[in-house]
Amino acid sequence: MRPLLPADPAAIGGNRLLGRLGSGGMGTVYLGRSPEGVLVAVKVIRADHAADPAFRARFRREAQAAGGLTGRWVVPVVAADPEAREPWLATPFVPGPSLAEAVGGYGPLPARTVRILGTRLAEALAEVHTAGLVHRDVKPGNVLLAPDGPRLIDFGIARAAGATTLTAADAVVGTPGYLAPELARAGGPAAGPAGDVFSLGCVLAYAATGSGPFGGGHAAAVVFRTVHEEPQLGELPPELREAVGGCLRKEPADRPTLGELTALLGTDTGGEGSAAAADWLPAPLPRIIAERSTRALDLPAPEPTRIDAPAPARPFTRRRLLAAGAALAAAAAPIAWVTTSRPGGGAPSAGADRDLPSLTLALQADLTGPGRATGQAHERGMRLAVARHNARPDADFRLALRVADDGGDPQRLKQAAAELLADPAVLGLVGPTWDAAVPELAGACLTADLTLALVSVHSPENTQALWRTVCATRPTDEGLGLPVLHYLSRVRISRRTAVVEDAANGAPAWQVTRVLQQSPPAQGSVSVHRVADAGSGFGATVRALTEARAEAVVYAGTSPQRAAELARALADAGFPGPRVALQHAMEPAFLTSAGQAAEGWVFSALCTDPLALPAASEFVAAHRSAYGEPPARWATEAYDAVGLLATALTGLEGEVRDRAGLSRRIFRTTYQGLAKTVAFDTRTRALTGDALAHLYRAEAGAFRYLGRYPDVRADP
């Protein structure tokens, strides 16, 4: 569970919210406490989805039907409001791990446990079907494990993929690898009970073997194998093959009914008594469930929110604004782009020769604190982009840049943001350059209707639901998992991958852990080794992953120093396999601290190397001329952010070029940048495009760019 964000409500439908359980394209799931003191999971649907009348009608109908479910193995809807601006529903909270988490972290389940799992999920689905519902997305992540048996969640109420409707007939709804072949194309037959039976067979195969029957990798490849190839059941225990194989037949009519499946799984499923129920799961899962239950019950109910009258704000006088502007301008002298200069050294003056309006963009960054290298890269890239725009003969406005330094300090962040937002000339803002600053700055920009372009920082999955003026120009951290998956599946194949999830000295990169658990490299297995204490070394972890015969190690942490410590421990143990980390650890401190042990480490990153981009040659030359060195990490992406904002402002020709206009136009703008094409889904406002991530390798005391991850086919 993660803490509530500043923009989250304190309560929904009388349920006091305690934290966030997850978020996605459809909305956010909160942990709440009902007026009766019962813990509930509250799912809130985003308003843009609810704007579709057909969506709302289906939500109303299916929530009502699901509210009538009373079976032991389903998690029913206990409250809902389909008429709210953001419709919501509440279900009892189940503190146990999902099947995906259990198998990913502790390995396949025994055959007896899988048989019990299958019969009880079949019973749950039978009740769902009797109620007139079809689940549509039976998968390991939607099966929770409780002490007495599994619980099936999310039965067809808020599922969508590529469509604004819930269950439209022309929408492909489901998860690749667990989606029935007849449902794997738009316009196919409507989802029915047989599709849920197929998905259940996939779930049972995963539970028993640790991998899906149609492998992993890219979604399109998984769907292709599902439709055209036979399932991979070689490691399935013999007593499960008839039942699971029957579920996975291509033709819906050839699959067993749920009653027939129960008979195939056998009658020895643990009985209904408490003693039988208590031992259906292998160790250590019962202990983990008990610990989570204890933690959940210990959660306090938050105090009701009080809003005190604010103290009178100190007004922004003209003198204060001019003084602040002069101080910033002194540190932000314009830089000419020398590659656009004319013979004799004079810069082009096409823009300056005409009486053009001046539009101001701003940068808020850490320029003097711990993240000053990234902040400086932003500033340099943006200054060169502004100079380039102003040198264009076809420009119908000039750009000005205002820069504010927050030093990576929360208090300075607020002060700098207040001064920038108080300047009506500022139409768009780039920044911040440190992750923890995003909620504060995004909330302030939302209030001011100011577009905030994120370049290097991570943004929550539901950013647009929280702050509609935030424009994320880089993928979320989940995007870091794809290069890792590609590298360990296609370049250095690993069928037993160990993920070291390090929470010391910073948050663990849990998004990448989730990606690898859901789609293991090379269709193999993933073991997760969690380290919580900064005082703990990695000796025990390395021994554990060695005993597990790991073929590759992924460091899912954010500390370069801790990554270096792991590198040394692996080198001391003589670990021969590939070692992979994420961009957070791709810092000079890793190279310095790891020494020779850094050699050969591969890094997944969301930033490109402009030195490897032919289209960026002029930018690189201009940067060398202006600053005496090549562009640093994120300078190219910051340069592109200015181009995106300028293109959006250009698109407002004939309209008012103001904050409101830019915040509307930006998500309808496509910009061909140096690093990538920047474009957005017009419905979700999420960044679109493929191959937005890259691979680097530590070699000879530097990070060598290998390329966009799909283009990397072999080790250099």
Q: Give the contacts of 669 (CB within 8 A, at least 6 positions apart).
A: 644, 647, 648, 651, 679, 680
Closest CA to 437 of 363, 511, 512, 377: 363
| Measured distance CA(693)–CA(679) in Å, rounded | 15
| Measured distance CA(328)–CA(488) in Å, rounded | 47
CA of residue 674 relative to chain centroid, distance: 24
| Measured distance CA(473)–CA(606) in Å, rounded | 10
| Measured distance CA(668)–CA(689) in Å, rounded | 15
Exposed e or buried b per residue across 31-61, where buried means at least 16 C-beta atoms within 10 angstroms of its C-beta: bbbbeeeebbbbbbbbebbbebeebbebbee
Helix axis angle, 111-130 to 193-209, nearest 10°: 160
| Measured distance CA(655)–CA(427) in Å, rounded | 14
In angstroms and rounded to an integer, the radius of gyration of the C-alpha atoms of the chain is 27
CA of residue 393 relative to chain centroid, distance: 41
Q: With contact defined as beta carbons under 8 Å apart, do 7 and 463 qualify?
A: no
Examine the residue annotation and report whether 137 is marked as an active-site residue of this protein: yes
Exposed e or buried b per residue across 382-397, where buried means at least 16 C-beta atoms within 10 angstroms of its C-beta: bbbbbbbbbbeeebeb
CA of residue 582 relative to chain centroid, distance: 14
Q: Give the contacts of 714 (CB within 8 A, at least 6 positions apart).
A: 491
Q: With contact defined as beta carbons under 8 Å apart, do 233 and 213 qualify?
A: yes
Q: Is the dihedral of CA 275, 276, 277, 280 positive or negative?
A: positive
Helix axis angle, 111-130 to 258-265, nearest 10°: 160
Tokens describing residue 376: 């400086």
DSSP conformation class of 83: T
> What element of type H or E holds 152?
strand 149-152
Question: For residue 704, which phi and psi values (nearest 5 degrees)?
Answer: -90, 130
CA of residue 670 relative to chain centroid, distance: 22
> What element of type H or E holds 183?
none
| Whole-number Cα distances in Å, 595 to 369, 373, 536, 578 | 26, 22, 20, 17
Q: With contact defined as beta carbons under 8 Å apart, do 552 and 523 qualify?
A: no
Closest CA to 412 of 400, 401, 420, 402: 420
Compute the half-sphere exposure of residue 393: CA atoms within 13 Å on the CB side of its CA.
Answer: 3
Closest CA to 494 of 519, 525, 529: 525
| Measured distance CA(483)–CA(694) in Å, rounded | 7
Residues 48, 52, 81, 137: which is the catalytic one? Answer: 137
Enzyme catalytic residues: 137
